[in-house]
Amino acid sequence: MSSSAPDPHPTSGEDRGLSRRRLVQGAAGGAAVGALAVGGSAWAMTDRGSTAGQSDQEADRDTVDLSQSHPFYGSGAQAGVFTPPQRHALFMTFTMVAGTTASDLQSLLARWSAAIAQLTQGKSIGAVEPTRAGAVAPDTGEAFNLDPASLTVTIGLGPSLFDDRFGLKDKRPALLTDLPDLPSDSLQPGLTGGDLSLQACADDPQVAYHAIRNLARMVRGTADTHWTVMGFGRASAGAGQYTPRNLMGFKDGTRNITEEADRTKFVTIADADQKWLEGGTYQVVRKIEMDIEIWDADPVSDQQHVFGRTKDEGAPLSGTKEFDTPDFHKAGAVNGLAIPATSHVALAAPENNGGVKILRRGYNYTDGINQYGQLDAGLLFIAYLNDPAHFITLQKKLGSSDRLNEYISHIGSGLFAVPPAPATGHYVGEALFA
Amino acid sequence: MSSSAPDPHPTSGEDRGLSRRRLVQGAAGGAAVGALAVGGSAWAMTDRGSTAGQSDQEADRDTVDLSQSHPFYGSGAQAGVFTPPQRHALFMTFTMVAGTTASDLQSLLARWSAAIAQLTQGKSIGAVEPTRAGAVAPDTGEAFNLDPASLTVTIGLGPSLFDDRFGLKDKRPALLTDLPDLPSDSLQPGLTGGDLSLQACADDPQVAYHAIRNLARMVRGTADTHWTVMGFGRASAGAGQYTPRNLMGFKDGTRNITEEADRTKFVTIADADQKWLEGGTYQVVRKIEMDIEIWDADPVSDQQHVFGRTKDEGAPLSGTKEFDTPDFHKAGAVNGLAIPATSHVALAAPENNGGVKILRRGYNYTDGINQYGQLDAGLLFIAYLNDPAHFITLQKKLGSSDRLNEYISHIGSGLFAVPPAPATGHYVGEALFA
């Protein structure tokens, strides 16, 4: 660039409440400086007056507004549980370093919480450029001046945390135990469990990566990274949003939990045996590898029988529109049924599982090319539920009968307790140490 | 979801010219159906009247408009060379299967071109849901109904393609040879070379992944996948856009080529020894691993000496603003200079390299966690230039003296010739077979 090139951002970020440019110290300060909280969709409406013929919903999905932010502090579930799924996710687990104490864990949770409160408001977690020469910067800087991008970071606590190490043995909820072996498991060593989990979701992958990277960095020496998955493309979504597709090309999330009543009934933990988890939830995470090249060789008519839905519209094979309620008794061509009994939708449906629903939050992932030269890809499946048994029951059934099993392998797995959001100035899991 | 839930998209996409919903057969048809071509920024302006105090540029970067598209056909360089960098990239190389012929290669290039022309306009490359029962779908479907998201797919031809296999020995441009060993090389087997390259860039990673996946799929049996990198976050950008940051937290792309005169002088091939490459360019690709955890332990004052710029503003250490022209003679604290002679900016500057410039198109990547438990991340460096010697000269210098070498390793590498864009109905590289 020549010397006459103008500076396009002569005062970039200097006066922006949401900027990462200036460090705002402390969590309370974070809440005071222009948090632009949104309760609804992460998708912004924009003026598309010239595009006649498009519905509002279509205009809606054409634009991503990166300026939105979600508050970290509050009551009820942590952000990232009920938050409308952002476009990118970075999930990472951690193991506490040998010899660390309850006090180290307490400090870790407090520091993570204060940092997440800053990050979700589009701020750095400390100066990018310290004034003292020779100082190491608290923040690595790559999200400097970027928008909040609807970032949420959700902290989970694994069953292994409640052993002898941190004096938490008596604080373990009865339901927080390692997931049992499940019929579909092809778990890889190194992709299971973890003392702690972080789920960072944002509409900008650089913002999500920056969050996880800096949270990992600030606890070096206390907690080691364990396993991670980076996801994209939102394979599930709530009501009023279009339904994203997984890498099998099918809509994923059509029947996801969207109603407040279902959240209360199936996601939020009430009357917990451990008070620190009251108002929280459980997080089930599965890294599900898909043999997409084999899948792609399957005729669409068969793919539709595997899912129990049409590929284009996503309608149940008993109906014509995506949101038609499946009729699992309707007569049809597969053993007398329109929706095959071994299809994914039939096996997973609340109607066929005593009404049980789980809140899914899925993202697609790719690991490039595998050792056989085939595309290595799949689904980062994250579910929130108030009883891990709901997942276990469903997965036992799916793992035994689901025709999808021919094309997928569950290679990673973890279960975590997700305490409720902390009140301003407090931290996630604080009640554990009361 | 209850049976009374409304269908939010009763006629979604049916009438949209840019929809992937309906197959538009053939390349010429693709050009006829409402291509919404944009020549400028991939970032849309939106009404942000309520956010007083923000500059236009800042509003500009808050919103990503996914409805934009770039034409594939044209004159001059292929789309993806001079196109303003989109937010995501998927780069993949391919090797022609043993025993394939010139006719196979010709067919591959023709089919890829026709498919890319469809994909960049937001269309499927064939029916997602074929009408004939038992048929395998031409398109895998996961980008069905998604916006074009500014997708570009750029085809490159490696030196190895010009051997005895395809009768192209006499068509090899003299400058198209394997890159020599370079002082910084730590190349990994399996991450170098390739007969063909595809660079897919889009503002939606699902759109970029879908493109590469389907292009790989349609040539199975003719070309095998070789190596791939998925990038995010735009580590370089042109004028009028903010300058993105690499994972070292520094702005990357401040002095990138933006002027038409520089494009003509340094990027576009004129008077080519091989006429089929006239108006094309060369593509250098490097996968550069960054030891970001070691980097993060370095004081910012030292990091600034390594880059020769400030971290926050991105100003050369001889100035105060990002776009100030570096003064490499200005007196200062490091061996008498403000900008250290071994800093990255000093070593790479046109002023210190006979005026040479290269067009960079960089993306950040992450491969998760490495075998040592450290974050595995870096830069997907893609450069376009009309003489590979320009890169070789620069990299010989950088690989020998650059203080960055303490923190980075070049682990992947490739050089490809990028023929010009085809005229409507023609295909990339067609002139090779004339």
Q: Is A169 exposed, middle or buried (0-12, 13-18, 19+ CB in 10 A)?
A: exposed
- Answer whether A209 sits within 8 Å of B130, measured CB to CB: no
pLDDT tens, residue by residue, B66-98: 899 999 999 999 999 999 999 999 999 999 999
> How much is the pLDDT for B290?
98
Q: Which residues contact B377 (CB under 8 A, 6 or more apart)?
A: A209, A213, B247, B289, B290, B292, B364, B365, B366, B367
- In eight-state DSSP terms, residue B309 is B
pLDDT at A17: 28
Model pLDDT, residue A63: 80
CB A16 to CB B58 under 8 A?
yes
A117-149 per-position pLDDT tens digit = 999 999 999 888 887 888 999 999 999 889 999
Q: Which position has the higher pLDDT, A33 or A210? A: A210
- A82 vs A75: CA distance, rounded Å: 12
Q: Report how many domains make up chain B.
A: 1
Q: Report chain A residues whose CB lies below 8 A from the CB of B223.
A: none
Rounded alpha-carbon distances, angstroms, from residue A181 to A175, A176, A194, A384? 16, 15, 17, 20
Quick check: helix, strand or coil at residue B69? Answer: strand
Residue pairs between chains A and B whose CB atoms are closer than 8 Å: 294
Highest mean pLDDT among A261-275, B35-49, B121-135: A261-275
- Provide the mean pLDDT of chain A: 85
User: What type of residue sits at position A187?
Assistant: L
Name the closest residue on chain A to residue B257, using Cα atoms.
A1
The answer to whether the CB of B27 falls within 8 A of the CB of B424 is yes
pLDDT at position A268 over 80: yes
Buried b / exposed e across A57-87, counting CB within 10 Å, b at 16+? ebbbbbbbbbbbbbbbbeeebbbbbbbbbbb
For an interface test with B, which of A323, A325, A358 has the most B Cβ atoms less than 10 Å from its Cβ?
Answer: A323
For B178-237, give the DSSP string: PPPP-TTB-PPTTSB--SEEEEEEESSHHHHHHHHHHHHHHTTTTEEEEEEEEEES-S--
Q: Other CB atoms closer than 10 Å to residue B276's CB: what's the count?
A: 21
Instruction: State the Cα–Cα distance between residues B80 and B375, nearest whole angstrom.
Output: 29
**∠ Cα A269 A270 A274 (to 5°):** 80
Name the residue type at position B91. Answer: F
Kindly report the nearest CA distance between residue B133 and chain A, in angstroms.
6
Cα–Cα distance for residue pair A93/B373, rounded to 1 Å: 11
Rounded to a whole number of angstroms, the distance between the first and last alpha carbons of chain B is: 59
| CA closest to B319 among chain A residues | A3
Contacts of A9 in chain B (CB under 8 A): 55, 57-58, 242, 322
Burial class (CB in 10 A: 0-12, 13-18, 19+), B186: exposed
What is residue B173's predicted lDDT score, i.e. its pLDDT?
98
Q: Can you tell me the distance from the alpha carbon of A409 to that of A377, in angstroms, rounded to the nearest whole number?
A: 11
Cβ–Cβ under 8 Å, residues A17 and A33:
yes
C-alpha B376/C-alpha B415 separation (Å) is 24
Rounded to whole angstroms, the Cα distance separating B159 from B137 reads 34
pLDDT tens by residue, A198-212: 999 999 999 999 999
**Three-state SS for A261?**
helix
**In this complex, do A137 and B300 lie within 8 Å of one another by their Cβ atoms?**
yes
Q: Which residues of B touch A197 (CB under 8 A)?
A: none
Sort out which chain B residues have CB atoms less than 8 A from A248's CB and list them. Answer: 141-142
- What's the distance, Cα to Cα, between the start and end of chain A in Å? 59
Q: State the pLDDT at residue A235.
A: 54
Q: Is A213 helix (H, G, I), strand (E, B) or coil?
A: helix
CB contact under 8 A, A58 and B325: no
Residues with Cβ < 8 Å from B428, sequence gap 6 or more?
B78, B109, B112, B113, B155, B419, B421, B422
pLDDT band at A33 (very low <50, low <70, confident <90, very high): very low
pLDDT for A405 beyond 80: yes
Q: What is the pLDDT of residue A222?
A: 98
Give how far A261 is from chain B: nearest CA, Å: 11
φ/ψ of residue B114, rounded to 5: -60, -40
Residues of chain B contacting A324 with CB distance shorter than 8 Å: 3
B361 is a domain residue: yes
Residue A177 structural domain: 88-432
Dihedral of CA atoms B259, B265, B271, B276 in degrees, nearest 10, equals -50
Q: Which carries the bigger pLDDT value, residue A398 or residue A28?
A: A398
- Do B63 and A66 count as a contact with CB atoms less than 8 A apart? yes
* pLDDT tops 90 at residue B13: no
So what's the pLDDT on residue B385? 98
Over residues B299-320, the mean pLDDT reads 96
CA distance B157 to B78: 13
Beta bridge partners of A382: A285, A361
Q: What is the pLDDT of residue B36?
A: 28
- CB nearest to A310's CB, from B129, B325, B373: B129
Q: What is the mean pLDDT of residues A413-423?
A: 98
**Which token pair is B326?**
């570096």
Indicate the length of chain A as a whole number.
434
Determine the pLDDT at residue B235. Answer: 53
Would you say B391 and B249 are in contact if contact means Cβ atoms under 8 Å apart? no
Q: Do B61 and A147 touch (CB under 8 A)?
A: yes
Lowest mean pLDDT among A73-87, A355-369, B3-17, B411-425: B3-17
C-alpha to C-alpha distance for B140 and A346, rounded to whole angstroms: 23
Please state, in angstroms and rounded to a whole number, the distance separating the CA atoms of residues A382 and A82: 12
pLDDT at B413 over 80: yes
Yes or no, beta carbons of A46 and B62 under 8 Å apart: no
Q: What integer pLDDT is reported at residue A167 of this predicted model?
A: 96
**Which residues, including other chains, have CB under 8 Å from residue B372's CB and lie 6 or more apart?**
none
Residue-averaged pLDDT of chain B: 85
DSSP A268-335: S--S-SSGGGTT-EEEEEEEEEE-HHHHHTS-HHHHHHHHTB-SSS--BTTSSSTTSPP-TT-EEEET
Q: What is the mean pLDDT of residues B2-12?
A: 34
Q: Around Cβ A186, how many Cβ atoms within 10 Å?
A: 11
pLDDT higher than threshold 50 for residue A91: yes
Residue B259: list chain A partners with CB under 8 A.
1-2
Task: Compute the average pLDDT of residues B301-329.
Answer: 96
A273-282, A348-357, B32-41, B341-350 — which is least confidently predicted?
A: B32-41
Host H or E run for residue B375: strand B375-385
Q: Tens digits of per-residue pLDDT, B245-254?
A: 999 999 998 9
What distances in angstroms separate CA A367 from CA A228, A251, A370, B9, one per listed residue? Answer: 11, 22, 8, 33
Q: What is the pLDDT of residue A51?
A: 30
Give the DSSP letter of residue B86.
Answer: -
Distance CA A177, CA B56 (A): 53
Encode pLDDT of B134-162 as tens digits. Answer: 899 999 999 988 999 999 999 999 999 99
B9 → closest Cβ in A242, A259, A375: A242
Nearest CA in chain A to B136: A299
CA distance B269 to chain A (A): 21
Measured from the Cβ of residue B60, the count of other Cβ atoms closer than 10 Å reads: 19
How much is the pLDDT for A61? Answer: 58
Report the alpha-carbon distance of residue B287 to residue B285 in Å, rounded: 7
- Evaluate whether A235 touches B263 at the Cβ level (below 8 Å): no
Looking at this predicted complex, what is its ipTM?
A: 0.86
Q: Which of A2, A245, A368 shows the shortest C-beta gap to B141? A: A245
Q: How far does the CA of residue B301 sit from the closest CA of chain A (Å)?
A: 6
pLDDT 10s digits, A212-263:
999 999 999 999 999 999 999 875 443 445 788 999 999 998 999 999 999 9
* B218 within domain boundaries: yes
Say yes or no for a CB contact (<8 Å) between B239 and A213: no
A50 lies in a domain? no
Nearest to B269 by CA among B387, B172, B152, B158: B387
- C-alpha torsion sign, points B239, B245, B246, B248: positive
Task: Identify the CA nearest to A281 among candidates A175, A202, A355, A393.
Answer: A175
Q: What is the percent of chain B where pLDDT is above 90?
A: 77
Give backbone dihedrals phi and psi of B73, rounded to 5 degrees, phi first: -80, 155
Does any domain span residue B15?
Answer: no
Q: What percent of chain A stands above pLDDT 90?
A: 77
Distance CA A171, CA B322 (A): 53
- At residue B170, the pLDDT reads 97
Instruction: Report yes or no: B181 and B108 within 8 Å, Cβ to Cβ.
Output: no
Residue B227 pLDDT more than 80?
yes
Of the candidates A13, A65, A128, which has its C-beta nearest B311's C-beta? Answer: A128
